[in-house]
Copies of this chain bind each other. A is one copy, B any other.
Amino acid sequence: MEFEAMSCDELSAYLCSVPSVYALLNEPGELDIAEVGDGNLNYVYFASNTKTPEKSVVVKQAPPFLRLVGKTWPLTRHRMEREVAALRRFGALCPQHVPRVYHADNERFLMVMQRLSSHRILRQGLMDGIVYPKLAGHLSTYLAHTLFFGSDLYLAPDVKKQAVSAAINSELCKITEDLVFTYPFEDHASNVYSAAFPRAEIERLWKSPALRVAVGEMKWSFMNDAETLLHGDLHTGSIMVNQDETYVIDPEFAFYGPMGFDVGAVLANLLLAYFSRDWHDDGARTKTNAKSNAQTNAKANAEELAYRDWLLEQATQIWNGFANQFAALWREHESRRKSHFIGDDRGGACAEAFRARFMQRLFAASLGFAGCKMIRRIVGMAKVADVTSIADEALRATVEVRALRCAERLLVERHSIASIDDVITLARDIQATHYK
């Protein structure tokens, strides 16, 4: 079927014609439809019962071309199928952290899913300095379950190999291969540098053999290591939160890849939030200053420091929580099956030794991918609001250089960084350093 964007009336009629959706929306006489997509890739709508607006769904339509450009930039017609399949798979593993898919229509490149009306995008929440007390626990649970249950540690080998094949997502992987692992290290037309960003930093990046070797290794791993079904784009803009709940959305980049890629994405975005705190704290301070109250001001200062600590603490808690849960799922599974991935362990020390090495390698890979993801956000095309919202050009450049230096060290030193605590120390040291 050829793609056609629906008018609001057409979408309304369509939704009412799907019995399950019609029931879910409380058999609406009329629907309020609002287009809310960002306009790059997809069409996204909220559809609510006009009379009972709390009965509401999200409709996502992924045309087989780049919406921003049009039909002259075709994308696979299977894009939406991939996302639906990933949402259903992750939803089965982690129903509390994945929006439900109510209805999918491959012919129309469309799906109807759970509306998260009391949640906001995590990146925005972090920029506003909001503490989410359950975030780390939720994200580590999500990561442990999705990464473990898609892998050879759990699945039968033939089932896993079929899953690899079913999840091939060449076009969206190509975007990552180019925009994360290649273009940022070239004088590529798609790169964007902020006004005050020192040119010497970019040159250094391009010409450092140690860094380029490390990034090359991460690119090779991304393209070859079919370890588990990944989200594939797990930055803080793909996470919706409130004080009680955490949902991971938009897995359209899902494919079988290296586990560290999802973990690294989360760590990278927390570190970017951390380094950009200088600006967002200043914003808070300014607001506070308006009250002209020294005591309030001091309190705000303390809060800012506490928020920075909280951000780094999230990185620690997410890695530790993830690693513990992942290892626990693995142990439980092997104890239930009465066998280990490595085979029987008569000595009793080998299975745990392998698990420890596995987690250590996964940690190193996560740091490497985190480094790549941070770099692409600084010198590549797609930025993050944490940084781009910094209006002071000099301050923004400082934040960017710090993020870049941190990323470089994560990549180059990933095999010698012993623990997440060392990552935190590294981030603090870099934050305390003045780069010219």
Chain A positions within 8 Å of B, measured between CB atoms, are: 152, 157-158, 160-162, 164-165, 168, 170-171, 173-174, 177, 181-183, 185-187, 203, 206-210, 212-213, 215-217, 219-220, 223-227, 341-347, 349-351, 353-354, 357-358, 361
* Smallest CB-CB A-B distances: 10 pairs: A207-B347, A212-B350, A209-B353, A158-B170, A216-B342, A186-B344, A216-B354, A165-B165, A182-B343, A186-B343
State whether B207 touches A346 (Cβ < 8 A): yes
State whether A354 touches B182 (Cβ < 8 A): no
Contacts of A212 in B (CB 8 A): 342-343, 345, 350-351, 353-354
16 residue pairs A–B, Cβ–Cβ below 8 Å: A157-B173, A157-B174, A158-B171, A162-B168, A164-B164, A181-B343, A186-B343, A203-B346, A206-B344, A206-B347, A207-B346, A209-B349, A213-B342, A213-B350, A220-B358, A225-B226
Contacts of A210 in B (CB 8 A): 353
CA distance A180 to B419 in the complex (A): 33
State whether A187 touches B342 (Cβ < 8 A): no
CA distance A220 to B212 in the complex (A): 26
Determine how many copies of this chain the complex contains: 2
Please classify the interface of chain A as helix (H, G, I), strand (E, B), loop, or mixed, using the class held by over half of its residues: helix
Contacts of A207 in B (CB 8 A): 346-347, 349-350
- With contacts A158-B171, A170-B161, A354-B212 taken as known, whether A152 is within 8 angstroms of B344 at the C-beta atoms is no
State whether A357 touches B217 (Cβ < 8 A): yes
State whether B158 touches A223 (Cβ < 8 A): no
Contacts of A353 in B (CB 8 A): 209-210, 212-213
Contacts of A341 in B (CB 8 A): 216, 219-220
Contacts of A350 in B (CB 8 A): 206-209, 212-213
Query: What's the least CB distance linking A147 to chain B, in Å?
Result: 13
- With contacts A225-B225, A347-B207 taken as known, whether A219 is within 8 angstroms of B165 at the C-beta atoms is no
State whether B157 touches A354 (Cβ < 8 A): no
CA distance A351 to B207 in the complex (A): 10
Residue of A170, A206, A212, A345 with most partner-chain B CB within 10 A: A212
Query: What's the least CB distance linking A205 to chain B, in Å?
Result: 10
Q: Contact partner of A185 among B164, B219, B343, B361, CB < 8 A?
A: B343
- With contacts A213-B354, A227-B224 taken as known, whether A342 is within 8 angstroms of B219 at the C-beta atoms is yes
Contacts of A354 in B (CB 8 A): 209, 212-213, 216-217
